[in-house]
Amino acid sequence: MSTAPRPATDRYDVIVAGAGLAGSLVAKQLGDQGWRVLVLEAGTRTLDTWPGTLDAMNTYYAALAKVPNAPYRPNAAAPSPDVIDVQGLPEGGFRSNGYFVQNGALPYSSDYLRATGGSALHWMGLVPRMQPEDFTVRSAYGYGRDWPIGYADLESHYRTAERMMGAAGDAAEQAEAAGTPYPTGYVYPMHPVPPTYLDRVLAARLDGKPVREAPGAEETVLRVVTTPAARNSTPNEQYDAGRGHRPDGAAGLPNYGERCVGNSSCVPICPVQAKYNPLKTQTTWSHRVTLVTHAVVSRVLANGNGHVYGVEYQQYDDPAAPVHTTRTAEADIVVLAAHSIENARLLLASGLANSSDQVGRNLMDHPTLLTWGLLDHPVGPFRGPGSTSGMENFRTGPARRDRAPFRIEIANWGWTWSAGSPGSDVARLLGMGGGSAQPRGKGLFGPRLREELGRHVGRQFTLQFAMEQDAESRNRVTLDPAHRDRLGNLRPVITYDLSDRVKRGIAAAKDVSDQIFGLIGAEDHTSYAPGPFSAGWFRFEGRDFVFQGAGHGAGTHVMGDDPATSVVDQWQRTWDHPTLYAVGCGSMPSMGTANPSLTMAAMTLRSCEQIHRDLTELHRPRTLRSAPALQVAVAIPQQEGQS
Amino acid sequence: MDPAQSAPPPEHTEVPPEYPGFVDISVRLTGFDEFELRGTGMVRLYHDTTVEQVGTQAVSRFIDDLNAAGGDPDGLVDETSRDIARAITHLWYLGVWPQLSRSVHAALGRERANVAFVVSPESYTEGLAWRTFDAHPPGAKAPGHGSWSEPPAGAPAPGALRQTEDAA
């Protein structure tokens, strides 16, 4: 990586907007192939030094609400949405403050982070693969959108992503329980992260037990299996035909990091960087990659023919008091890798790539239902990663025709997400659970408080049911000139709702949860009522539910095989502008039930191959002596006139 | 309110430990012993925070009330003193000074916002709540690779889990 001074107008082979997971992989691959890459990052780069990491840790420790963005300092020049921007109202409905403007029936309660490393600084790190049927939901199950490519097209890229991100998992177990196809004999780079004690308790009580999501429905036999994770575990000596795997340490402090030591804070920050983050990839960038931070891409530049030749960006010094200088940079290829919502925002603001009218539409997430309870003995919550195992039974199958499929994650951090534990428990036991305006109870003190708190929190567990959300054109990002940020850029206006098939999936998940709670003998404490922390409350067929955002925004520059109905082609290249790519989860036509980062990485690695081919084509000598003039003219892509 | 402050220590004698009165009260409120509380390094900060948040007069009344109750926080009758007891305990358990009850906030005539805040980064990592269930504050004091697979105190060994279920 180089940070040499630049001339007033920069000229590169590739410009990448965004130094998160997708952008870091693009810069890595293309830089290694000899292309000159400019990476423009809207946020700051404090995290890629060790003092920066320590500062983020202290910011996290001192934050009252330990939400995913808590460790990362606010930036007025490149604002990020925050999960606490959305608040539920006492009678249902919600109010939204902050970066997003929301006008939908239900809240989009997911965040992201604009800084080097991006949202993958605070991801959980789970990397299950999508299942083959997830790519054909329209043709196989009659909802959503099909992909123009299939699992087989991505399989080798999944393996590359698993190597680059350092995945730990058990391929044989995934193949059996989730039906994930791997090449014969494939092993993950590292052995699975050891399952939590809670996982082992649930496995002892659930493995082999049949459940039905409804009376008369098909029976499925439960099995608790480890979840692949991009988290340093014990390297598998069988990996890569016996060559093994050497885990990456921490960015900013070489030879530190190594295995997961159980800090129990994967979200929002892994203090030892045992969990993969894109900063690790950035440390291996070629010197041909130039990273410029504090550079907010404000517009993609195209000439009158629609040929994209660069970007305009706003460079600022102080994230607290942004004053900017406008600059431009030019390149043969522009790659937007700024998060699905930011990519859509940039395309809309630039008036590009939208001949299909699909830019910003099909916004998806993994709407998540939480159920929570107490077991009959301590289960060791708040020790180790947030989730190490799950149940794969409901990820596909015939029921998918009627309701959203879902993946069950066993959540190891007590009721922290579902009910704000242990802070809420301390407050309740002290008689302060009702807030400052309510009369307070007497409260417990001394040894009784200590024992009661330990006895209660020590038995807490939560199940997370992550729904596949079908692509719907009404769920969308738009722009409104009335809503701008401090640099004058248009803020995302979000219109979001859940389809009835997602709500049916949520209802089925609750029924499955009830059976699981019965089988494990758990005391159910789940409750869904409107309130400040229940922005996702809704009533469906007479029952109350609350859903959460998963931080898995997708679909907003959807991939397809027809320029009339999709934004990007199978290479994530915009149909309308052959030198403009939009990469990331925004390209996904369907998400399945897998946490999407691994699939995003695989898609991005596949796109890098095409970008390399495009660049090679653009850099070919123009005059071919033996070729007739007419054929040369035909062979040269239209955009070459600009290069 | 604080013996260590009320009289300067005589010369050539051993300096008494900081804020013994505050530590005694904190032991009664939290159920953790003096050794554990002092080991957090938070005694001085929490003492100062309490005085700063509610003022010396209210703290003095709180100490008098607690003494009148025989040192047992359960015996606190006055709602202001009881809310101060809640706040100090909350502080020790979570590192967070909480919102006082609205009526107590008004009764004290506090010239500051009635808001909760984390007193310092260290106060979070020294929170006592995590110790009550044999865990650690997320993001600090990591227990080591794979430690999360082992049973916490009071839980059956993993090997016994399956047999227990089969027998049941």
Q: Is residue A578 part of a domain?
A: yes
B-proximal residues of A, 249-278, CB under 8 Å? 259-265, 269, 271-272
In this prediction the pTM is: 0.93
* Residues near A574 by beta carbon (within 8 Å), at least 6 away in sequence: A347, A352, A353, A557, A567, A568, A580, A581, A582
Find the domain containing A290 and state its range: 9-84+110-365+473-480+553-616
Residue identified by tokens 């916004």 is: A363
Greater confidence, B100 or B15? B100
The pLDDT score that the predictor gives to residue B163 is 55
Query: From the CA of A269, how many Å to the nearest CA of chain B?
Result: 7
Query: From the CA of B29, how many Å to the nearest CA of chain A?
Result: 5
Domain count, chain A: 1
Query: From the CA of B147, how many Å to the nearest CA of chain A?
Result: 7
Q: What percent of chain B has pLDDT over 70?
A: 86
Confirm if A311 and A15 have CB atoms less than 8 A apart.
Answer: yes
Query: From the CA of A308, how many Å to the nearest CA of chain B?
Result: 44
What gap in Å lies between CA B40 and CA B125, rounded to an integer?
9
Least confident segment among A109-118, A631-640, B85-94, B156-165: A631-640
Contacts B148 to A, Cβ<8 Å:
194, 196-197, 262, 264, 380, 383-385, 388, 412
The pLDDT score that the predictor gives to residue A628 is 52
Q: Nearest chain A Cα to B119, which residue?
A: A62
The pLDDT score that the predictor gives to residue A640 is 40
A40, A13, A18: which is closest to A288 by C-alpha?
A: A13
Any bridge partners for residue A467, and if so which?
Answer: A406
Which residues of chain A register pLDDT less than 70? 1-10, 257, 623-643
Backbone φ, ψ for residue A301 (5° rounding): -95, 130
Of A62, A448, A449, the CB nearest to B124: A62
Contacts A440 to B, Cβ<8 Å:
79, 82-83, 86, 101
Contacts B155 to A, Cβ<8 Å:
197, 377-380
Q: Is residue A421 part of a domain?
A: no
Query: From the CA of B105, how many Å to the nearest CA of chain A?
Result: 9
Domain ranges, ordered by start, for chain B = 3-138+145-167
B-proximal residues of A, 30-89, CB under 8 Å? 57-58, 60-64, 66
**CB spacing of A264 vs B151 below 8 angstroms:** no
* Residues near A15 by beta carbon (within 8 Å), at least 6 away in sequence: A37, A38, A39, A40, A310, A311, A329, A330, A331, A333, A334, A335
The pLDDT score that the predictor gives to residue A549 is 98
What gap in Å lies between CA A498 and CA A477, rounded to an integer?
15
Phi-psi category of residue A446: left, alpha or beta, with phi > 0 → left and psi -120 to 50 → alpha: left
- Residue A540 carries which side chain, given as an amino acid letter? F
What gap in Å lies between CA B73 and CA B70, rounded to an integer?
9
Q: Measured over all CA atoms, what is the biggest interatomic distance in chain B, rounded to whole angstroms?
A: 70
Contacts B93 to A, Cβ<8 Å:
426, 449, 453
Q: How many CA atoms lie within 13 A of A345 on its CB side?
A: 24
The pLDDT score that the predictor gives to residue B9 is 52
Q: Is residue A178 part of a domain?
A: yes
The pLDDT score that the predictor gives to residue A394 is 97
Whether ipTM tops 0.85, in short, is yes
The pLDDT score that the predictor gives to residue A322 is 82
- Grouping H, G, I as helix, E, B as strand and the rest as coil, residue A551 is coil
Of B74, B90, B99, the CB nearest to A426: B90
Is the alpha carbon torsion for A576, A580, A582, A583 positive or negative? Answer: positive
Question: Would you state the structure tokens that stand for residue A445, as one six-digit string?
Answer: 């003190």
Q: Is the pLDDT of residue B159 over 80?
A: no
Q: Is residue A144 part of a domain?
A: yes
Q: What is the pLDDT of residues A233-277, one digit of tens each?
A: 999 999 999 999 999 888 888 778 689 999 999 999 999 999 999
What gap in Å lies between CA B87 and CA A221, rounded to an integer?
49
- The string of DSSP letters for A358-422 reads -TT-S-B---EEEEEEE-SS---TTSS-S-SEEE-TTSSSGGGGTS--EEEEEE-STTHHHH-TT
What integer is the mean pLDDT of B97-102?
97
Confirm if A595 and A126 have CB atoms less than 8 A apart.
Answer: yes
Q: The domain spanning residue A590 has which CATH number?
A: 3.50.50.60
Q: How many CA atoms lie within 13 A of A127 on its CB side?
A: 35
**CB spacing of A380 vs B164 below 8 angstroms:** no
Q: Is residue A269 part of a domain?
A: yes
Instruction: Give the best residue of B92, B148, B162 to mutate against chain A (max A CB count within 10 A).
Output: B148
Q: Is residue A221 part of a domain?
A: yes
Residue identified by tokens 């010094």 is: A317
Is the alpha carbon torsion for A118, A121, A126, A127 positive or negative? Answer: positive
Q: Is residue A283 part of a domain?
A: yes
